[in-house]
Structure 1
Amino acid sequence: MTKALGHERNPTIDAFRGIAICSVLAYHYTSETAWTGLTHTPAVAQVGRFGVELFFIISGIAISMTARSSGNAIEFFVKRVARLYPAYLFWMSSTWLFLNWVGSPIFPHRILDYIKNITLYSGHHRLVDPSYWSLTPELLFYGFTAVSLAVFRRHYWLGLVAVTLIGAGIAAAGRTAFADAAVAAKWMPLFLLGMSAWLLIYEKRRVGWVCAGVALITLPFGALRYDPAFHPHWAMVAYIGALGGALLMMLALRIKVVMGPLGWIGLRSYSLYLLHQALGVSTLKMLTRLGAPDWFSLTVVVLASLGLAHLSFTYIEGPAGMAINRFYKQLTTARRYPAASL
């Protein structure tokens, strides 16, 4: 990977991942009082529900980098599965076991739920952790990118523009549920927006403007299609516009900032996302039932979540991903040069 194309670790992107996951934690830990048992709900935490949308923009940038560094579509998909699946399987399994052990009334699950969740596709079954819904759009985006790489190669953006337009068309025709389930229509404009930033900033390709234009045109049929009563349009536009705009501007100007602990948290944001909601909310509920004050309960849960996320990143997410990628390289080398494997 070459530094000229921005393949080195970017502390600014990690810091904005940290902002996104902190937003999500603030929302889930303080806004869902019926689940957590907390007595105080800061109104500002409500905007944290849009942290996932910021993640999708960042994902568009990261996936473009992976597509650029992959030799073919299969290698790309293996890299993304290696990044996503090991930590997911560990925390999904751990969450299911924990919730059944404590008998959580908030997140009841059966063995059938566990088996269905192994696929990583949410579909219509009960999720072990409600946060896992966002992994389905990610998986669909990976799949569409892999197919586009196989068909269009360097011009893989063509396939993703087509998918985004098709999804917007289906949604505009009133088939919103089908559009979201089949082609992630609600979220593809956000992925495409991140991809356009990569193409413009790092690859210096004017087609990035085409991707950006399609992303902005289709947003009303996608992310901005939320129910205004539950997801106010102005709040989402303000959150995504401010943070997404700041991220893209800093990348364009080559501004790299660590932002204190946000970069550290951002590096561990995927593991933190996987374990935070069902485990964290259930623990908050247990602590508040025991009479613990809100500040103590939140402190314990946040610190425990950060600690577990660090262990997961260090001993599961990183090593397992590298092992899968190493195995794939050995397998392809053995197929290409049979004598080398003897």
Structure 2
Amino acid sequence: MHARITHLDGMRGLAILMVIGYHAYARWAELLPYATATEHIPVFAYGWLGVELFFMISGFVIFMTLDKSVSYISFLKKRWLRLFPAMFIASMLLYFVGGLFPEWSAMTPQVKNLLPGLIFTNPETLSQLTGIEFKSMAGSFWSLYVEAVFYLIIGAIYFTFGRKYCLPGLLVPMLLLSASSVLKSLGYPLFIDVIAKFGFIHYSWFMVGCLVYERMHGRDKLLHYAIVAFAMLINFSYYVKNAGVMTIIPLLVVMLFFIASFYFKQMERILSVRFFTAIGFASYAFYLIHENLMIATLIKLNVYIKSEGIMLFMPIVVATVLYYIAFLITKYAEPTLRNMLKGKRVPAAPQSGAGA
């Protein structure tokens, strides 16, 4: 399996580059004038699909973690130790430097806004439950809230019913979400809003990753394919409704790209090159800090740099600096904090990836 894991590290690198491209050149065109020239270029416009790549990678590696865990609690502890240190460091970094970027309202350096990230809970859900208005320290944290609930659910299914019920079990929250519009008309709006914020619509992507892993280990059954195909239909219909029928093409491309990477040596080799794996190594911390710090810096630079031509290159410069910060977090700060939380003094071997 080792070569495959290497190429998954490279795929994490590719996924974060896609997301950065989307944020720098498409997502914030109203704030960054140069992006009006790039926002409709498909490679940038569909860069958000990098997150779905992360979800498929998470789905693939989750059984490895489950199989190595002795209990539900030990599994959750492993996942928490994997995700919390970088989230804590990134949240603190965004909190302390947030005041340097008054130009962008999405910077929300208030103490209460540290909470959603640190407990991996959607701020809108927290606001609904407490009546206090919370925001994330960074917009990109949303996918970690989705990952956290996914871990809670798949771990519960695996340790209660066994692995063969994991895929059917993951379909249940998706069906619950599909039924939610009916429930809403019956008059349970708050309940539905809470459900909608858990990100169940994305579970089909985790399921694709799970299924590829099971296929690699000869455990795939026809029923699994039917369940995952049904889940993907639910997911695709959601995107068609919100973004139009043409969105199906990039969604399919990303899904097939992930699957094909396990069958074509050439793809595996390309994804395993040092460029991708080095970015993949720091991809989790990079993902957490990139959007707010990059966009806020670009808005600031845009005041002084009047040339759109020069501004088009600035995201590469800014992202490179942020990569090195993410690298230092991943290589030094994260293992140090993880060992403190474990009560160890020995430096840990660095782990890689965005939430996986």
TM-score normalised by length of structure 2? 0.79
> What is the CA-CA distance between 1:108 and the residue it aligns to?
4.2
After TM superposition, list the pairs within 5 Å mapping 1:76-115 onto structure 2.
76-109=75-108, 110-115=110-115
Q: Which segment is superposed worse, 306-315 or 258-267?
A: 258-267
After TM superposition, list the pairs within 5 Å mapping 1:244-323 onto structure 2.
244-252=255-263, 256-257=268-269, 258-291=272-305, 293-321=310-338
Q: Does the 8 Å CA contact 1:37/1:289 hold for their aligned counterparts?
A: no
> What is the CA-CA distance between 1:81 and the residue it aligns to?
1.0
Q: Does the 8 Å CA contact 2:18/2:48 hold for their aligned counterparts?
A: yes
Partner residue in 2 for 1:214: 227
1:28 to 23, 36, 55: 23
How far, CA to CA, are the matches of 1:169 and 1:218 in structure 2? 12
Secondary structure of 1:127's match? Answer: coil
Q: Does the 8 Å CA contact 1:82/1:320 hold for their aligned counterparts?
A: no
Secondary structure of 2:120's match? Answer: coil
Rate the CA distance shift 1:239–1:212 in 2: closer, same or farther, 3 A.
same
Rate the CA distance shift 1:244–1:27 in 2: closer, same or farther, 3 A.
same
Deviations 1:239-281 (CA, angstroms, capped at 9, x unpaired): 3422332332332467742145112212221111011000111
How far, CA to CA, are the matches of 2:11 and 2:313 in structure 1? 27
Q: Does the 8 Å CA contact 1:186/1:223 hold for their aligned counterparts?
A: no
One-letter amino acid of the counterpart of residue 122, structure 1: N
Rate the CA distance shift 1:117–1:69 in 2: closer, same or farther, 3 A.
closer
Secondary structure of 1:48's match? Answer: coil
2:197 to 162, 175, 181: 181
> What is the CA-CA distance between 1:290 and the residue it aligns to?
1.4
1:234 to 243, 246, 250: 246
TM-score normalised by length of structure 1? 0.82
Secondary structure of 2:122's match? Answer: coil
One-letter amino acid of the counterpart of residue 26, structure 1: G
How far, CA to CA, are the matches of 2:97 and 2:327 in structure 1? 19
Q: Does the 8 Å CA contact 1:271/1:313 hold for their aligned counterparts?
A: yes
How far, CA to CA, are the matches of 2:99 and 2:172 in structure 1? 43
How far, CA to CA, are the matches of 1:224 and 1:190 in structure 2? 14
> What is the CA-CA distance between 1:218 and the residue it aligns to?
2.0
Rate the CA distance shift 1:239–1:220 in 2: closer, same or farther, 3 A.
same
One-letter amino acid of the counterpart of residue 246, structure 2: W
Rate the CA distance shift 1:111–1:173 in 2: closer, same or farther, 3 A.
closer
**Structure 2 residue runs without a partner (length 5+):** 125-133, 185-191, 345-356
User: Percent identity between the aligned chains?
Assistant: 20
Deviations 1:208-249 (CA, angstroms, capped at 9, x unpaired): x433321220223235403656x34433x3334223323323
Partner residue in 2 for 1:3: none
Secondary structure of 1:222's match? Answer: helix
Rate the CA distance shift 1:59–1:233 in 2: closer, same or farther, 3 A.
farther
How far, CA to CA, are the matches of 2:19 and 2:9 in structure 1? 15
Partner residue in 1 for 2:47: 48
Rate the CA distance shift 1:116–1:49 in 2: closer, same or farther, 3 A.
closer
Q: Does the 8 Å CA contact 1:37/1:285 hold for their aligned counterparts?
A: no
Partner residue in 2 for 1:337: none
Partner residue in 2 for 1:18: 13
Rate the CA distance shift 1:35–1:253 in 2: closer, same or farther, 3 A.
same
Q: Does the 8 Å CA contact 1:171/1:185 hold for their aligned counterparts?
A: no
How far, CA to CA, are the matches of 1:16 and 1:268 in structure 2? 12
Q: Does the 8 Å CA contact 2:282/2:326 hold for their aligned counterparts?
A: yes
Number of paired residues?
A: 315
How far, CA to CA, are the matches of 2:35 and 2:258 in structure 1? 34
Deviations 1:117-173 (CA, angstroms, capped at 9, x unpaired): 422211413111011111111001110122123212xx2341452242343243244
Partner residue in 1 for 2:140: 131
> What is the CA-CA distance between 1:52 and the residue it aligns to?
0.7
